[in-house]
C-alpha cells in the first residue's frame, strides 16, 4: 500500500503574514520556525529577497528552495521571480 501525501499550499507574503499563516503555507516550517521568521522581520524590517530567510535561525537554503514558489515578498509578486 502506497501512502500519497498531497500538499497544496497557497503563496504567503512573508513580510505581512502571521506566524500561523506562514506555518500553514510553507513546507517544513512549523509554528516555531514561523515565529522566528516573524521575529526576525520585526527586528530587521521587511525581507527584500527570499534568500534572506537563511538568516533566520532554523531556516536553511533547502527549506527556502523547497518553498521558493510559495513565498511572496509583496502581495502580488512571487519571490521566485526576484
Question: Which pLDDT belongs to residue 76?
Answer: 65
- What share of the chain in percent tops pLDDT 90? 77
Whether residue 9 has pLDDT greater than 80: no
* pTM of the model as a whole: 0.82
Alpha carbon distance 41, 17 (integer Å)? 10
Closest-CA residue to 77 (of 15, 25, 1, 8): 15
Alpha carbon distance 26, 3 (integer Å)? 21
Question: Which pLDDT belongs to residue 75?
Answer: 74
Q: Which of residues 5 and 46 earns the better pLDDT score?
A: 46
Amino acid at each position: 500500500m502506497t501512502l500519497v501525501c498531497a500538499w497544496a499550499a497557497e503563496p504567503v507574503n512573508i513580510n505581512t503574514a502571521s506566524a500561523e499563516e506562514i506555518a500553514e503555507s510553507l513546507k517544513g516550517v512549523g509554528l516555531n520556525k514561523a515565529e522566528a521568521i516573524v521575529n526576525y522581520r520585526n527586528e530587521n524590517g521587511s525581507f527584500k529577497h527570499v534568500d534572506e530567510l537563511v538568516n533566520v535561525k532554523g531556516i536553511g537554503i533547502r527549506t527556502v528552495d523547497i518553498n521558493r514558489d510559495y513565498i511572496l515578498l509583496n502581495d502580488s509578486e512571487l519571490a521566485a521571480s526576484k
